[in-house]
Structure 1
């Protein structure tokens, strides 16, 4: 027999866990399905200083893993079920006796009165050797999260759009020098963003270039960039006194929305379209966190989405009790 829930949350990051917390506290039978590991992107963040009330770890600094551990503890305390290693491959949006069906890769089938899509999004990667090994050790995808760790050091920003230029400007608050590496011969950011960057007097741009390799023993120590016009490569090495430098990658995000194609309305970049109450075009299905269009992708905004989606679910279930 297929197990029935009031709400199924797809994704165990901050948005999904917050939604589960709010729904379980409302005494709704709640299930969280997570494909890989709980926490999502935040698990690679060693220190968190911008989440209100961050938990301090043994080292005296808050970490992503500690924050997620506390969230998981809270969710379980109020009775929600969390299943890790459950990859959702299909959502049947047709209703059967008021329930929608969610199928996992292992063949497990669940039913729920409402579903919250909180799969998240991942930063687009450069895809070069050394990038994955040095993520969180000099390679970052979040200036707000990690900029302060590069006080008085040099940093390189990969990309030339609004995010890259705006984050490069932000990084001048910490870094001694910021260099943008752009694969085109011009920046694609809006004029005002470029003007603000130029006003800092601390930003240089290397055009027609891509990163081919990142190297370092425990921390980023060097990288190889290639000029796309001349095809010549050169090595950028850390200042001898610094020993390291930062690489911030801003070449877009990739939402995890493959299973929602031809099911939910997605925008041109693949994000799930929602109302202000985080409802999708299908009644009873909501979306929260980085999987939907938003201005800021941070733990605090993901948690806010989770709370809003959970409250919307509670309202939806209450309004549809007699149907």
Structure 2
């Protein structure tokens, strides 16, 4: 049986692995379908401390993995289909029925940005299409940008991007926005923001190897229109990767795992959550890494406080 299992290999999970491995805890890290998390889809990372010239997202994740391995962390590729948190030891079931038991668990499965699912979107992620204004806005200085979305996140990202862009066009499929009035007013009062409401995104158009704009359908006329832009930011929300928990742990209405303030402790003793699966506000690599450190320390304290039990006697 494992003392601690970490689910996920983004900045949070890998940081937790580094700390626990250095503490001789020999953590087992379960890699999902996309090892490295969302940073694998990011080309240039310029806001992670310690890299004055920036670093490629996949390279940063590879460095963190190698660091964890150096101290004794073990990695296992597999997709978690089910966990049983109702009794100890915790049971993790992988594809093909393989089961792993653990005294403690760190959930760092991240969150996925909701996508438009239109042609040209996936293949241009990191090449003009982005889901994070604070991550990539700097690359579009004095450029025209499209923000797709009608909620608070879209208004916030549009307002932020006006710091860099020459113009920000907000595209929304309806004529009315879902954003709160204060967020709408803030965007409408910004002279750099323009509007393309009641337009449905159809496909992303490229010019050579760069994004050239967005093809939309005007709902009022039924005609297709082309909005020229150098970058397209998709801001229609995120989904935390927590569905596999099947209601066994306390979450908010959107599925983000709830933790005790100032800790990574969940509603179940011995289960910690870190990174974007419990953070709907910041969603940055550096904040995720910070909570990964917290989760490792919380797990250490939890295990030190437990009575030494031969769990194998309770296994079937």
Q: TM-score, normalised by structure 1?
A: 0.90
The unaligned stretches of length 5 or more in structure 2 are 310-316
CA distance in 2: counterparts of 1:149 and 1:293, whole angstroms: 25
| Cross-structure match for 2:85 | 93
| Cross-structure match for 1:258 | 243
Shift of 1:187: 2.6
Deviations, residues 112-141 of structure 1 (Å, cap 9, x unaligned): 110111111110001111111111111100
Runs of 4+ in structure 1 deviating by more than 6 angstroms, as ranges, are none
Deviations, residues 200-238 of structure 1 (Å, cap 9, x unaligned): 310011111121111213211232111234332212235
Q: Which SS does the other structure have where 2:211 is aligned?
A: coil
Deviations, residues 45-76 of structure 1 (Å, cap 9, x unaligned): 1111211113x6xxx54211121111111100
User: Do 1:7 and 1:31's aligned partners in 2 also have CA atoms closer than 8 Å?
Assistant: yes
CA distance in 2: counterparts of 1:92 and 1:162, whole angstroms: 36
1:107 paired with 2:92, answer no
CA distance in 1: counterparts of 2:98 and 2:59, whole angstroms: 30
| Cross-structure match for 1:291 | 277
CA distance in 2: counterparts of 1:94 and 1:29, whole angstroms: 24
Q: Which SS does the other structure have where 1:106 is aligned?
A: helix
Deviations, residues 84-103 of structure 1 (Å, cap 9, x unaligned): 3x00111122435xx21111
- Say what the alpha-carbon RMSD is for the aligned residues: 1.6
Equivalent residues in 2 for 1:1-323 (5 A)? 4-54=1-51, 60-84=53-77, 86-96=78-88, 99-216=89-206, 217-238=208-229, 245-276=230-261, 277-322=263-308
The unaligned stretches of length 5 or more in structure 1 are 239-244
CA distance in 1: counterparts of 2:278 and 2:220, whole angstroms: 37
Deviations, residues 271-319 of structure 1 (Å, cap 9, x unaligned): 1122121222222111111111432000011101111111111111111
Q: Which SS does the other structure have where 2:210 is aligned?
A: coil
User: Do 1:10 and 1:117's aligned partners in 2 also have CA atoms closer than 8 Å?
Assistant: yes
CA distance in 2: counterparts of 1:127 and 1:94, whole angstroms: 37
User: Do 1:45 and 1:145's aligned partners in 2 also have CA atoms closer than 8 Å?
Assistant: no
CA distance in 2: counterparts of 1:32 and 1:230, whole angstroms: 53
Q: TM-score, normalised by structure 2?
A: 0.92
User: Do 1:42 and 1:65's aligned partners in 2 also have CA atoms closer than 8 Å?
Assistant: yes
Q: Which SS does the other structure have where 1:73 is aligned?
A: helix
